[in-house]
């Protein structure tokens, strides 16, 4: 098969809706993390998150779609609309497919529905409950709206779901099953049960008094990640199809890696073996050397152990050729399935603009580390290839490499 190219992008994030708003906010060092406003957190140990700000779904979606969808589905739908509009694609139904990536699906709808049901004198659950919580219904709503009849799969590989959605879309294109694939990732898991569990696991930052400084990737003072939410979407096409229709091409999907630690359900392998193998696999698939990569958008969640392991893994793979690295989770929080795609978008924009997003809140980097984490200010750099890492519970590892399109 020939090249796979990117012809459309869409983003819904805590720092902005729309790709340009999202990326400009990253470059400006804005934080989307604040006190949670969508429900009462007064009894919770963790009261902060990266929420989508001032969001009225009716401003973006048809009323019937708003009524029958969970928030994560709405974010997926909006991101997909932006990507499709940007691509100016005339959909060929049977040759267009969709891959959805989400870690938690409709957990918030499940949690709040059960809370309302418990103790209620009139126990009634609406007929839309089941389709609002299923991960694949996000893709189904997009497919129905645009008559997408080709391959449709939903990927749930924890926090690497978005990256793996891109990988599966690429495999389908390479197999000749479609000419165009829409890869979407979305998440909205802001609810007490989710926060309670992660807080009790000591995975979350408890810096409730200073939320915008709470997510501190690769900083010595990091004390856990901050939950984020949102959606991201990419239009992937075979080069032949894109050129035939005269599409604007924003970048090339060079290669993907996917490995498993086979070590622990929540902790990364202490030597980063799975992450190392994943990055090496992506480089090998793309026919690239470590020195070819100019930028890495790191997984960088701001957890004490996770950031340390990823730092070791990057240094092991790249050695003296370690590229510039940053984590945009300091700004957005950990968007889980959505982040795997929005962070790839940040790599595409970095290549396009020649300006790399910073790691905000980074004051004292991990010691004994030679990596330049682009602390607090964006960096100008002319790069040809960039890598995005996404690592998840269960030892899931995803690495996606994108590059400048040279047709």
- The domains located in the chain, with CATH, are 1-393 (3.40.47.10)
- Give pLDDT, residue 1: 54
Contact 226, 44 (CB under 8 A): no
Give the β-pairing of 251-260 and 396-403.
antiparallel
Give the β-pairing of 96-101 and 180-187.
parallel
Distance CA(274)–CA(160), nearest Å, equals: 13
- Bridge partners (DSSP) of residue 251 are 6
CB atoms within 10 A of CB 325: 26
Structure-token pair, residue 211: 């939320």
Distance CA(256)–CA(171), nearest Å, equals: 10
- Considering the entire predicted model, what is its pTM? 0.97
Secondary structure of 180-229 in HEC code, one letter for each residue: EEEEEEEECCCCHHHHHHHHHCCCECCCCCCHHHCCCCCECCCCCECEEC
Residues of the chain with pLDDT under 70: 1, 121
Q: In this structure, what are the phi and psi dihedrals at residue 385, rounded to the nearest 5 degrees?
A: -130, 145
Sign of the CA dihedral running 303, 228, 101, 404: negative
- Give pLDDT, residue 123: 76
- Bridge partners (DSSP) of residue 235 are 8, 182
Distance CA(271)–CA(263), nearest Å, equals: 11
Active site residues: 159, 299, 334
Q: In this structure, what are the phi and psi dihedrals at residue 258, rounded to the nearest 5 degrees?
A: -150, 120
Distance CA(13)–CA(241), nearest Å, equals: 30
Q: What is the pLDDT of residues 212-224, one digit of tens each?
A: 999 999 999 999 9
Distance CA(381)–CA(361), nearest Å, equals: 21
Distance CA(31)–CA(362), nearest Å, equals: 13
Q: Nearest to residue 375, comparing CAs of 327, 338, 337, 339?
A: 327
Residues in CB range of 326: below 8 A, 6 or more apart: 295, 296, 297, 298, 300, 356, 357, 358, 359, 373, 374
- Give pLDDT, residue 186: 98
- Give pLDDT, residue 184: 98
- Give pLDDT, residue 407: 82
Helices (H), 15-87: 19-27, 63-67, 71-87
Q: Nearest to residue 205, comparing CAs of 197, 191, 215, 194?
A: 215
């Amino acid at each position: 098969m020939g090249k796979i190219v990117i012809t459309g992008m869409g983003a819904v994030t805590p720092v902005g809706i729309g790709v340009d708003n999202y990326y400009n906010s990253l470059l400006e060092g804005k934080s989307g993390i604040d006190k949670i406003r969508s429900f009462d957190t007064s009894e919770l140990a963790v009261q902060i998150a990266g929420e989508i700000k001032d969001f009225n779904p009716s401003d973006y979606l048809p009323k019937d779609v708003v009524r029958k969808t969970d928030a994560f589905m709405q974010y997926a739908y909006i991101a997909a609309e932006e990507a499709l509009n940007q691509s100016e694609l005339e959909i060929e139904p049977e040759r267009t497919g969709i891959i959805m990536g989400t870690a938690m699906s409709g957990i918030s709808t499940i949690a709040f529905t059960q809370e309302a049901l418990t103790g209620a004198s009139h126990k009634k659950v609406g007929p839309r409950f089941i389709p609002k919580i299923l991960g694949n219904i996000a893709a189904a709503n997009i497919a129905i709206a645009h008559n997408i009849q080709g391959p449709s799969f939903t990927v749930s590989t924890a926090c690497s779901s978005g990256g793996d959605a891109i990988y599966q879309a690429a495999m389908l294109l390479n197999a000749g099953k479609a000419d165009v694939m829409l890869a979407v990732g979305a998440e909205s898991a802001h609810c007490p049960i989710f926060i309670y569990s992660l807080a009790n696991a000591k995975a979350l930052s408890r810096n409730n008094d200073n939320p915008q400084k709470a997510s501190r990737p690769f900083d010595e003072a990091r004390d856990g990640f901050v939950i984020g939410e949102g959606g991201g979407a990419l239009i992937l096409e075979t080069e032949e199809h894109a050129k035939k229709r005269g599409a604007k091409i924003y970048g090339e999907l060079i290669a993907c890696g996917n490995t498993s630690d086979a070590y622990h359900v929540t902790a990364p392998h202490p030597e980063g073996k799975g992450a190392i193998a994943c990055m090496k696999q992506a480089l090998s698939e793309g026919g690239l050397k470590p020195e070819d990569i100019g930028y890495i958008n790191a997984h960088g969640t701001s957890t004490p152990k996770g950031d340390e392991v990823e730092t070791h893994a990057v240094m092991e793979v790249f050695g003296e050729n370690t590229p510039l690295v940053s984590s945009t989770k300091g700004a957005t929080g950990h968007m889980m399935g959505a982040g795997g795609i929005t962070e790839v978008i940040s790599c595409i924009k970095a290549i396009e603009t020649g300006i790399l997003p910073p790691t905000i809140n980074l004051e004292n980097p991990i010691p004994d580390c030679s990596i330049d984490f682009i602390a607090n200010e964006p960096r100008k750099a002319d790069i040809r290839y960039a890598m995005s890492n996404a690592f998840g519970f269960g030892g899931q590892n995803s690495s996606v490499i994108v590059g400048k399109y040279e047709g």
